[in-house]
Amino acid sequence: MREEVKGTFASVFGKQDGLRFFFAPGRVNIIGEHTDYNGGHVFPCALTIGTFAAVSQRKDRLVRMFSENFKETGVKEFKLDDLCYNKDDDWANYPKGVIFEFQQRGYAIPNGFDIAFSGNIPNGAGLSSSASIELLMAVVLQTYFHPELNALHLVKMAQHAENTFIGVNCGIMDQFAIGMGKKGHAMLLNCDTLSYEYSKLDVSGLSLVIANTNKKRSLAGSSYNARRQECQEALRDLKTELEIASLGELSPSDFDSYAHLIQNETNRRRAKHAVYENDRTIKTAEMFKKNKLDEIGSLMKESHLSLKNDYEVTSPELDELAYAAWSHEGVIGSRMTGAGFGGCTISIVKDQAVEDFIEKAGAAYKERTGIKADFYVADIGEGARELKGD
Ligand code: GLA
């Protein structure tokens, strides 16, 4: 990929000395969905697939960007002193938003650059290609101009850029997983306090298999923001009697005792998901430590069903992939991953069953939906960084 992005750079901007190379991964969440913006826990990991960039500094204040993944949109060009969201800039708004965020916070960007991007995260699959390009941009700016900023700071800035510049009110999970990823580890992150612990996924004999529905997510942004709003309304109702700052502070039994305070039935189901999912996430991380695979499988299934019935963010395609996985004997657990509304499932599969699982689940899915799913055996990698040496 590094050679490829170097080639892309040369063909678009011409050969240049002193190119530097950067990488930011995609992420997959094992469990803890729609809990991050509710002050709960998440359990994601960074992948070895991601976004690559070749970067060269310019002497003026122009920024030029090109993405091999969106060739047809051409070179995007803008000035550092005139950064605003522009629909025509399409994908380039994500890195542009991060540059803007740096400037807004008073971190000067003295000169522009030329950047070629190339990524191998399937777009719109819920594996965070957008947070990946955001963190990549943040690491580029940190490396050249602001080495004093630590990774967590970059994570927060990238999330804020997505909230304000792009207008998607996402939580911190994606940027955190991508900025802080560690090879072979998932992270149990408390999204309220941002305390976290790495958890070695010591799952010898097991593989993480990502299955892409190949059904593009629709209305993801607006429905996502609507879910967030519904949870806030539920919290507001609960606060009439409870002193809590977020749904993440409630245990399932607390929730059951006070759920009647939530006036709207839909909001009650949304909040129930957030509270119970948080509990499942903490338990899943615990079960990984104890290697209790059956429990992990049940928790993943409950998670998917809750996202389907109470949070209503699965899709018929995600459900079909989950059903196909649950009925395969080599599968420990399976659920949708990411925001939902389409995208991917994640399954924990016995190594020797992976091939058969892909064949059978792929065939069942094709038969039920008419769509061909793609399967990837995930490799858990490091967070966003400059690529040095070879
Ligand atoms: C998207 C958001 C995250 C998180 C997930 C759902 O990926 O960017 O912040 O809310 O959806 O768990």
Reply yes or no on whether 192 is catalytic: no
361 membership: H or E segment, kind and range:
helix 354-369
What's the predicted TM-score (pTM) here?
0.96
What is the second-level CATH architecture of the domain 1-27+46-183+202-218+295-390? 2-Layer Sandwich (3.30)
- 295 a known binding residue? no
Interatomic CA distance for residues 145 and 294, integer angstroms? 49
Characterize 12-27 residue by residue with b for buried, 16 or more Cβ atoms within 10 angstroms of its Cβ, and e for exposed: bbeeeeebbbbbbbbb
Neighbours of 339 (CB within 10 A): 24
Distance 358 CA to ligand 1 centre (A): 26
Residue nearest (by alpha carbon) to ligand 1 atom 10? 34
Neighbours of 54 (CB within 10 A): 27
Residues in the chain: 390
Report angle CA 341, 343, 344 to the nearest 5 degrees: 125
Neighbours of 228 (CB within 10 A): 17
Evaluate: CB of 174 within 6 angstroms of ligand 1.
yes
DSSP, residue by residue, 209-273? EEEE------SHHHHHHHHHHHHHHHHHHHTTT---SSGGG--HHHHHHHGGG--SHHHHHHHHH
Cα distances from 370 to residues 23, 133, 153, 219, in angstroms, run 35, 32, 44, 22
Encoded amino acid at 386, one letter = E
What tokens does 258 get?
Answer: 């006070």
Interatomic CA distance for residues 196 and 12, integer angstroms? 41
Distance 209 CA to ligand 1 centre (A): 19
Strands (DSSP E) along the chain, which ranges?
20-29, 41-42, 44-57, 62-67, 76-79, 113-119, 185-190, 196-200, 206-212, 331-337, 344-350, 374-378, 385-387
Encoded amino acid at 159, one letter = Q
- Annotated catalytic residue, options 174, 279, 310, 319: 174
Residue-level pLDDT, tens digit, the chain, 390 residues? 888 999 999 999 998 888 999 999 999 999 999 999 999 999 999 999 999 999 999 999 999 999 999 999 999 999 999 999 999 999 999 999 999 999 999 999 999 999 999 999 987 788 999 999 999 999 999 999 999 999 999 999 999 999 999 998 899 999 999 999 999 999 999 999 999 999 998 778 999 999 999 987 665 568 889 999 999 999 999 999 999 999 999 999 999 999 999 999 999 999 999 999 999 999 999 999 999 999 999 999 999 999 999 999 999 999 999 999 999 999 999 999 999 999 999 999 999 999 999 999 999 999 999 999 999 999 999 999 999 875
Interatomic CA distance for residues 290 and 272, integer angstroms? 27
Evaluate: CB of 277 within 6 angstroms of ligand 1.
no
Cα distances from 95 to residues 76, 78, 174, 180, in angstroms, run 11, 12, 15, 18
- 125 a known binding residue? yes
Mutation choice for ligand 1 from 173, 191, 232, CB with most ligand atoms inside 8 A = 173
Residue 349 is predicted with a pLDDT of 97
Distance 384 CA to ligand 1 centre (A): 18
Mutation choice for ligand 1 from 170, 231, 314, CB with most ligand atoms inside 8 A = 170
